[in-house]
Chains A and B, each alone.
Chain A
Amino acid sequence: MSQREQGGVSARVSPEGWQRALTRFVTVIPHTRELGLEVMAVDPPEVLMRQPWHDDLLGDVSRGLVHGGLLTMLLDTACGSSVLCALPTPEVCPTLDLRVDHYRPAVGGYPIWARARAVRVSESIVFTEGLLWQESEERPVARGIANFVRLGPRNTPAGLVEALFAEEPSHV
C-alpha cells in the first residue's frame, strides 16, 4: 500500500537508467517504435517524451491538424510509462480508463511534447495525469487523466524487468 514498497528493483535505478529503460519500453512497442517516440528525461514518477513530426500524424490534410487520436495514444503511452517508474518493481499495467481534454488543435509540422506522472500508487490502481504541448508547456494542446490496473508480480509476464533493464546490446 505504501508509495514506496520495500525491496523493489526501482529504488536502485538512476534517472539515466530509467531513461534507457523507458526508451527500451517505447522501442519494444511496435506502434511507438514506428512513430519514433523519444524519451527525453525521467525523474520518477515523472517522464518527459517527444514525438517528432511525421506526416502520418495528421488527422486532416486540408487544415493541417494533428489527429486527436494520436494525442490520446501519446497520453496513454506517456502515462503508462510513468506507471512503470512509479512502481516498486515494474509490473504490466493495462489502461483501465482514460479521459482526454482537447484544449486547442495541435498543428502539423512540429514535434509534440508529453509530460506525465503517476500521482498515486495504490494496491491495485496507479492514477496518472499527463500534458501535451507544442510551442510551450504553458499552452498545452491536451490534458489526460489515465488510471492503470496493477496486474501484480504474479500476473506480470516473465521478462518485463529483464527487458527494461537488460544490458544495452552493442549493436544498437
Chain B
Amino acid sequence: MFEGFHDVAWLEKTRAEGDVAAWLALIPYARRIGVSAGPDPRGEGVLFRLDPREGNVGNVLLSALHGGVVAAFMETAATLDLMLATREPRLPRIVDVSIDYLRTARVEPTHARCALLREGRRLANVQVSAWQRSEAEPVATARLHFVLMHPAEDA
C-alpha cells in the first residue's frame, strides 16, 4: 500500500524510474503554481518548468510573476533534483534559502536547472538558476541548504 514519500520501496522505485511527476503529484502548492519536470536536453539531469499562469502574477503594473512564486518554483526544483541526485534515497528538509532576483520575470514559461554542489552525510547545498527566453540571462539564482533525512526516520 502506497504511503507517500516515507514509503521507502515507493521512493526507491520512483527514484530509479526518474518519475518526478509522481513526486509532484504529492506537492499541491507546486501543482497550483504549475511546476513540471522533463529530461534535460543538454545532459542527464532534469529540466524544471513553471507554467505562465495569471494566478502567478505578483505585480499587475509591471506584469511580472510573483517573486515568491519564482522562489517556490526554484525550491521545488532544488528539492526534487536533490531527491534524484543523492547517493541513497533521502528526503530533503529545507534549512534555508537565499535568492537573488536578477531580472523581471514575465508571464512566460520559466525554466530551472539545479546543481548539487555538496552532498555531505547530513547536509546538502543546491544551486538553482532560473531563466525565461535565454539561459544566459537568468531571472533569478538561488542557493539552498537541506538536511537529508532517511525516509523511514522522517515519517
Contact = CB atoms under 8 A, between A and B. Distances in A.
Interface of A: 28-32, 34, 55-63, 67-70, 72-77, 92, 94-102, 105, 157, 159-160
Nearest to B93: A105
15 contacts: A31-B56, A58-B27, A59-B29, A63-B155, A73-B66, A75-B68, A76-B58, A92-B59, A94-B59, A94-B67, A96-B100, A97-B99, A97-B101, A105-B93, A159-B61
A96 B101 contact: yes
Interface residues of B, number: 44
A122 B133 CA distance: 33
A73 B74 CA distance: 12
A72 B97 contact: yes
Contacts of A34: 55
Contacts of B26: 60-62
B57 A29 contact: yes
A59 B154 CA distance: 15
Given A97-B100, A102-B94, 20 more contacts: A30-B54, A30-B58, A32-B58, A56-B29, A59-B30, A60-B4, A60-B26, A61-B27, A62-B3, A62-B7, A62-B26, A63-B4, A69-B76, A76-B58, A92-B59, A97-B98, A98-B97, A98-B99, A101-B95, A102-B96
B9 to A, nearest CB: 14
Contacts, number: 140
A160 B61 CA distance: 8
Contacts of B61: 92, 157, 159-160
Contacts of A60: 4-5, 26-27
Interface of B: 3-7, 26-32, 54-62, 64, 66-69, 71-76, 93-101, 104, 154-155
A100 B96 contact: yes
B98 A99 contact: yes
A160 B60 CA distance: 10
A30 B71 contact: no
B96 A99 contact: yes
B30 A30 contact: no
A56 B154 contact: no
Most chain B CB inside 10 Å of its own CB: which residue of A57, A77, A97, A159: A97
Contacts of A56: 28-29, 31-32
A72 B26 CA distance: 19
Nearest to A65: B93
A73 B62 contact: no
A66 to B, nearest CB: 8
A96 B67 CA distance: 10
